[in-house]
Structure 1
Amino acid sequence: MSTLNEQLATLVEKYTACDISDALLKLQKVPEGGTARAGYLADLAPFSPIIGRNETTKKIAAPATTFKFLSKGATPPTIATENPEKHGFPPGKHWVDYAGDFAAADPANAGSIIVIEQPGDQYCAVTGGIMATRMKVLGLKGAVVGGRIRDLRELQATGLPIWARSTSTVGTGAEAKAVARDVPISIGGLTVSPGDIVFCDPFEGVVVIPRDLLDPVMELMPKLISMDEKAIEAVAQGMTVTQAFRDFRA
C-alpha cells in the first residue's frame, strides 16, 4: 500500500481538482434534501504567489490544519474552552504560532495546509504578511482562507500558495479573533476536518478529500478518467453526448 506522501505526490502529478470531485461525487452519500458538493470549496481564488487562476503555479496537497474565527465579542466554542491546550488559545501566544503543531504531531510527516473559517459578514482580513511569513517559517505548504486576506505584496514575497475568498485593507483586530484550532470548520457550508486532504489546483480550484475517502478516491479516479477519455474520443468522431454517456459513463 502506498504511503500518504506517495499518494499526495501522485495526486499532484497526475490529477486535477475536477478528477477528485468526479470521484467524490460517486463515493459520497448526499443527505436527503442536500446538494452534492463533491469536496469543492466554492468562490476561492489564488492570491499568492500569483493572483488569479493560472497554469504556472504548482498544485499542492496536504492534510488540513484548521482554525476557526468569530467576531471579537463571541464566546469561543466549548471544545476550545474545555481543552485550550489542544483546541484553544492559552494567553500569550498568537494563533499562527500554533500553525505547525498539527503537522509536527502527524507521524506521516506530510506537512500541512492551513484552512481558516471566517464569518461571511466580516470585512477585515484574518491573514496578512506577518502571518504568512510565520507560516512559511513553520514549513506550511499553503493556506486556504474562507474569508479575507491583506498585504498582498508581503504574501507573494513569501512564495506561499494562498487562496482566499477576497481581500481587505483592515487588520484582524477590527472585527475578528481566532477562537478554536484543530476542530471541524465550515467553508461555504462544506465541512473541513483536521487531517482531511486539501488539494489546491491553481487552474481548477480547491477540493477537500475526507481522510477516510482518500484510498477509494485514489482507486476510482483512473477508472473515471479512462471512461471520460473514451467518451471524448467518441464525441470527437461524431458520436452524440447522449450516446457517449450511455456507452462509457453508465
Structure 2
Amino acid sequence: MSNTLIKRLRALETPCVSDALDRLNIKGQCAGIMPLDNRFRLAGPAFTVKYVPADEHGRSVGDFIDDVAHGAVPVIDNGARLDATVWGDLMTTIASQRELGGTVIDGVCRDLDRALELDYPLFTQGRWMRTGKDRVRIEGIQVPVSIGGIIVNPGDLLLGDINGLVALPADRAEEIIEASEMIADAEESIRNEILAGSTLRDARARAGYHQLQTRR
C-alpha cells in the first residue's frame, strides 16, 4: 500500500469515509470500536491477530509485536471478549517505540495511562485490568479477523478518530478514498456557503447532499 494513499486517508474523517462506504455498498463501519481518548487518531495497514480462549492446546501472549512493520496497525480479534485483556503497558511501550500506527482490539485493553503518556492510539471496546495470560491463546497471525462485525484482512486500511473506526478493503481502498474526498469537498462547499449567508436547504441542494452517500 503506497504511503501517498495512506497520507490521503489520514487527511479524512471517518464520517466521510463511512458515507463513501455506503455509496459503494461496502461494509466497513466497525461497530462499538472507539478511541480510548478523544484525541486518538490512527491510519495504516492492518497486521491481524486472532485470539481464542486458552484450552488444552495451550496459551500465549503478544510477542507478535516484534514482527509488525513500522506504521502498521495491530488489529486484534479477541472475540469481543470483555473479561480478559490482550494488550497492556509493555505492548504499548514497544509499539510506541517502533512507531506503529495504533492498535485496534475487538475486546479490551489495560494500562491506558501508558497509552495516554505516550500518545499511542488505542481503539477498543473498553478497558479493564484483568490479564489475558493463562486465559487466551493466539490461533492465527495475518489471517482474516472480525472487528466490530466487520471482516478485516491483512493489509486492509484502517482509519480511526473521535467518531469510531472504519476498515477499507485493500483492493478497493483507492476507490473509497476518492469517493470520501469527493464527499468531504461537497460538505466543505456547503459549509462555506452557509457561512456566506446561504440557507442550509439551498446549499445542500446545490451540492446534491442528500445523494452523496446513496448506493451506486
Q: Do Structure 1 and Structure 2 share a fold, with TM-score over 0.5?
A: yes
1:188 corresponds to: 148
Matched, 1:222 2:181: yes
Distance 1:140 1:177 in 2: 23
Matched, 1:97 2:59: no
SS in 2 for 1:172: coil
Change (3 A) 1:28 1:128: same
2:214 corresponds to: none
Residues 126-145 of structure 1: matches in 2 within 5 Å?
126-145=86-105
Cα deviation 1:76-109 (Å, max 9, x = unaligned): 9xxxxxxxxxxxx9xxxx6533235352xxxxxx
SS in 2 for 1:126: coil
1:17 corresponds to: 14
TM-score (norm 1): 0.71
- The amino acid of 2:147's aligned partner reads I
Distance 1:162 1:73 in 2: 28
How many percent identity over aligned positions?
Answer: 25
2:34 corresponds to: 45
TM-score (norm 2): 0.81
Change (3 A) 1:139 1:225: closer
- The amino acid of 2:91's aligned partner reads M
Say what the alpha-carbon RMSD is for the aligned residues. 3.0
Number of equivalenced pairs:
209
Structure 1 residue runs without a partner (length 5+): 30-36, 77-88, 104-109
Change (3 A) 1:97 1:75: closer
- The amino acid of 2:74's aligned partner reads I
Change (3 A) 1:245 1:185: farther
Structure 2 residue runs without a partner (length 5+): 212-216
Asked if the contact 1:20/1:221 (under 8 Å) is kept, the reply is yes
Asked if the contact 1:99/1:138 (under 8 Å) is kept, the reply is no
Instruction: Kindly report structure 1 stretches of 4+ aligned residues shifted beyond 6 Å.
Output: none
Higher RCO (C-alpha 8 Å, min separation 6): 2
SS in 2 for 1:186: strand
Which of 45, 48, 51 is 1:69 aligned to?
51
Change (3 A) 1:158 1:225: closer
Change (3 A) 1:132 1:239: closer
